[in-house]
Amino acid sequence: MQRDIFLAGAGQTRFGEHWDKSLRDLMNEAIDAAITSSPCTALDIDMIVIGNMLGEIGSDQAHLGSLTSALLPHRPPAIRVESACASGSLALHTACAFLESGRAKTVLVVGAEKMTDVSADVIAEALMGAADAEEDRPAGLTFPGIFGLIASRYMYEYGLKRDDLSIVSAVHHARAKENPYAQFRSEISPEAVSRSTLVADPLRLLDCSPISDGAAACILSTQHQSDIRIAASQIAVDTLSLVHRPSITSFSATKDAAEKALQEAKIKLSEIRFLETHDCFSIAALINVEDLGFADPGHGISVYRRLFERKNDAPVLVNESGGLKGCGHPVAATGIKQIIDIAKVLRRDGERFGMAHNFGGAAATCGVHILEHSHA
């Protein structure tokens, strides 16, 4: 990092179905919570970066920079960033660049999504905008279909069993139970996952993160210090379509972004105590812990087995918030909410380093942030 950037405030809405709230209402609620939690007033904010993917189709609304800015009394400059499900982490990354450039001293970063005002069919189509419209969509693929293919190939390559995969969502639900902002605060057994409705073979309903409304906001500042510092902010990309990749059981954008982030933070992977990772589908969580280096290829399930049994020997604690499966996944809000959750657990346990790993599409864009807690 070119300058010290601190997490000066953070807040979010509950993730879930908010029939009575618009995209603007959700953003307003998260922004209010972030400002209230901080030493800043609204007037300290000299820039806004808003991450959003689905405004156009879900709410007939583009141009969210201007809309969001008008929620503050002084209408600071505002930019909307979109990178599918990685919109949140790319908004954070963009905010870091503005802070490092010196153009801004205190940036409000918002991620928000309103997914329940249109039918699930429309949202499923809109989410396919994250894949290649010329190469993936004509094949009839949806995102459950894409990750179903990935899971099939992974099971073929590594011999993973369907019932093993079910452990992943069980772990995430168990953690979400403790999170008041989570969409699903109920435990589920691996057996319930295995028995749930088939969506895209081998993936079942409870392997899939849900459709959610929600917003999350952070205040990043070079001026207002706090006990949480952004130690690294990195992004990387891969081909949009799976057809151009040498493997679909590993995501190169994750590896690239994480490697650059560890270099930037000047730490080793073993110093990361907490990880929030992008479990849009259960299989993604296994691939992610492998790509990030917490398990060898094909052995991600061993990490989740330890987490399931709440053993202390897991190499990293994953998705203590409940992850995308437990918390819900209001697309662009997820990348911001991961930062909030990492900050919470670092403070809770007095640990020093945590990582947030967020991707878009089938990891065609990936953002990795490392947070450092100074009171550890």
Spatial separation of the C-alpha atoms in residues 376 and 371, rounded to whole Å: 12
What tokens does 109 get? 């970063």
Nearest to 141 by CA among 331, 365, 288, 361: 361
| CB 99 to a copy of itself: min, Å | 8
Q: State the chain's maximal CA–CA distance in angstroms.
A: 58
Among 7, 53, 165, 261, binds a copy of itself (CB under 8 A): 53
Which CB, 143 or 281, lies closer to a copy of itself? Answer: 143
Whether residue 51 contacts residue 110, with contact meaning beta carbons closer than 8 Å, is answered with yes
Please state, in angstroms and rounded to a whole number, the distance separating the CA atoms of residues 31 and 14: 13
Q: What mask, x for binding a copy of itself by CB under 8 A, covers residues 320 to 359?
A: ----------------------------------------
Amino acid identity for residue 184 in this structure? F
243 touches a copy of itself (CB under 8 A)? no
**For a copy of itself, which residue of 239, 259, 271, 344 counts as binding (CB under 8 A)?**
239
According to CB under 8 A, which one of 42, 57, 118, 269 is a site residue for a copy of itself?
57
Contact 219, 107 (CB under 8 A): yes
Structural contact between residues 68 and 51, judged by C-beta atoms closer than 8 angstroms = no
Binding test (CB under 8 A) with a copy of itself, winner from 27, 30, 240, 324? 240
Closer to a copy of itself at the Cβ: 79 or 342?
79
| The Cα angle at residue 104 between residues 82 and 78, in degrees rounded to 5 | 40
Q: By rule CB under 8 A, what count of residues binds a copy of itself?
A: 60
Q: Does 128 bind a copy of itself (CB under 8 A)?
A: yes
Known catalytic residue at 85: yes
DSSP string covering 239-274: -SSGGG-S-SSS-HHHHHHHHHHHHHHT--GGGEEE
Cα distance between residue 181 and residue 171, in whole Å: 17
Site for a copy of itself in 83-102 (CB under 8 A): 83-84, 90, 93-94, 96-102
Query: Up-side HSE of residue 169: CA atoms within 13 Å toward CB?
Result: 29
| Residue 364 in the binding site for a copy of itself (CB under 8 A) | yes
**What's phi and psi for 273, nearest 5 deg?**
-95, -35
Span 244-273, contacts to a copy of itself by CB under 8 A? 244
Based on the shown chain and the rule CB under 8 A, indicate whether residue 15 belongs to the binding site for a copy of itself.
no
Piece in contact with a copy of itself (CB under 8 A), picked from 72-80, 166-174, 185-193, 276-284: 72-80
Which of 173, 329, 357, 369 is the catalytic position? 329
Residue 261 CA: distances (Å) to CA of 217, 268, 269: 22, 10, 10
- Residue list 130-159, contact with a copy of itself (CB under 8 A): 130-134, 137
CB of 317 to a copy of itself, least distance (A): 28
Q: Is 76 in the site for a copy of itself (CB under 8 A)?
A: yes
What amino acid positions are annotated as catalytic residues?
A: 85, 329
Residues near a copy of itself (CB under 8 A): 2, 22, 24, 53, 55-57, 59-67, 69-70, 75-84, 90, 93-94, 96-103, 125-126, 128-134, 137, 235-240, 244, 360-361, 364-365
